[in-house]
Structure 1
Amino acid sequence: MNDDLDPNLDLAEQVLQLLQAAPDGIAEYTLIQQLKDRHSGHVPNLPLADKLVLFRTHFLLFNALYRLRERLWQEQTHLLEISPLCIRLLPYQPGNAALSERDALRDYYLDMSNLQGTDERDVERLLTSFWTRMQGGEEKQAALELFELANERSLDLPRIKQRYRQMVSEHHPDRGGSTERLQSINLAMEILERYYR
């Protein structure tokens, strides 16, 4: 059986197929891996350990997600929930104002000049800015963002440790991750342990 995605479909349509097969939702990382495993020609089939490759892959996916969300909303078929931890299709609910509000992330990802104009130095600056916030008064929030837990309402240390183990597994150098990323994950865990003991 051939599990490859139809190369004639654009990335948004390929993503829709994968989301329809995952009714409980899917994490961004898993979605990227599925696109690569099924030979989507729309995402770079390169190791995500390279910061620029990771940024470009993330950007292309989120551009497709926001385009898909708007299309499904206009067709009144689904509401697409977008977050790095869980991307999922929800039933359309008329009267929901979610897409009428200004969304800075949507604007960013739909502007392709943000992809084309971002080079390795820019990605490094984004990461440096993130870690500067980590060292400042926003360290807890930055650590939660790194763990993709910033939007979870009820959060405790066991949940944080579970996420930590997942991230270490995903980003360990033995699995193609980078030592720098692993060090960042470990630092974030140290910070969160101080707040959630």
Structure 2
Amino acid sequence: MNDELDPRQDLPDHLYQLLQAAPAGLAEYQLIQQLKAGHCTHIPNLPLADKLVLFRTHFLLFNALYQLRDRLWGEQRAYLQISPLCIQLLPYQAGSRELREHDPLREYYLNLDHLRDTDERDVEKLLASFWTRMQGGEEKLAALELFELADQPQALNLATIKHRYRQLVSQHHPDRGGSTARLQSINKAMEILERYYG
């Protein structure tokens, strides 16, 4: 998308416009790139290689996505599925349980104190806690969560995991604006999953 986004619109409106044009959904990285290409002023237009810039961009995006999901649900227009690998507008279905259950991620991203109070040291701690889980007894679960496969309904196999690995590497490679640290995490997760599924 090369058209400039209307600067009078808020970020949730920009996201709605982009997601309507992509019925199959978009990955987080694709959404960020489209917002930048549209000259959206609501997210930092800086390289994502810096960990703090990456965190802030991610947080602002997910804050806006949860606002949009609440708005669309309240107006009974759509359900917004939110995950880093696929953000997609789905048809509204009354009585859906997704929004009735306690959602700690929603609470986290809608609290702007987390954005304001998180500094570079905190981002380092978040990454370190991820690595601790990777090296501890929960390494398989942590790796599956990173690949967004922890709640996969079908039985997993190495082919599915490798396919997801290639998607993630493509999205997060530093040559495409991704983070070296994120790519290292993806590679480490793949090593772990190959041990369990290879």
Q: Same fold (TM over 0.5)?
A: yes
Task: Name the amino acid aligned to 1:122.
Answer: D
State the partner residue of 2:5. 5
1:35 alignment partner, SS class = helix
State the partner residue of 1:190. 191
CA distance in 2, matches of 1:179, 1:74: 39
Per-residue CA distance 1:133-164 (angstroms, 9 max, x = gap): 10001101111222232232222211211222
State the partner residue of 2:39. 39
What TM-score do you get using the length of structure 2 for normalisation?
0.93
Contact 2:2 2:37 in 1 (8 A): no
2:95 alignment partner, SS class = coil
Task: Name the amino acid aligned to 1:85.
Answer: L
Per-residue CA distance 1:54-96 (angstroms, 9 max, x = gap): 1111110110011111111111111111111111111111122
CA distance in 2, matches of 1:29, 1:180: 15
1:90 alignment partner, SS class = strand
1:114 alignment partner, SS class = helix
Greater RCO, 1 or 2 (C-alpha within 8 Å, sep 6+)? 2
1:4 alignment partner, SS class = coil
Alpha-carbon spacing, 1:156–1:77, altered in 2? closer, same or farther (3 Å): same
CA distance in 2, matches of 1:69, 1:16: 10
Contiguous gaps of at least 5 residues in structure 2 = none
- 1:18-29 matches, within 5 Å, as 18-29=18-29
Paired positions, count: 197
CA distance in 1, matches of 2:9, 2:59: 18
Contiguous gaps of at least 5 residues in structure 1 = none
Moved more, 171-180 or 127-136: 171-180
CA distance in 2, matches of 1:179, 1:101: 35
Q: Output the aligned Cα RMSD.
A: 1.7
CA distance in 1, matches of 2:68, 2:58: 15
CA distance in 2, matches of 1:181, 1:93: 35
Per-residue CA distance 1:4-31 (angstroms, 9 max, x = gap): 1111100000000001001111111111
CA distance in 2, matches of 1:173, 1:97: 38
1:12 alignment partner, SS class = helix
Task: Name the amino acid aligned to 1:185.
Answer: I
CA distance in 2, matches of 1:12, 1:177: 23
State the partner residue of 1:100. 100
State the partner residue of 2:165. 164
CA distance in 2, matches of 1:177, 1:73: 32
Per-residue CA distance 1:149-190 (angstroms, 9 max, x = gap): 223222221121122222223333444444443332222111
Task: Name the amino acid aligned to 2:161.
Answer: I
Alpha-carbon spacing, 1:2–1:46, altered in 2? closer, same or farther (3 Å): closer
Contact 2:51 2:179 in 1 (8 A): no
C-alpha displacement of 1:98: 2.1
C-alpha displacement of 1:2: 6.0
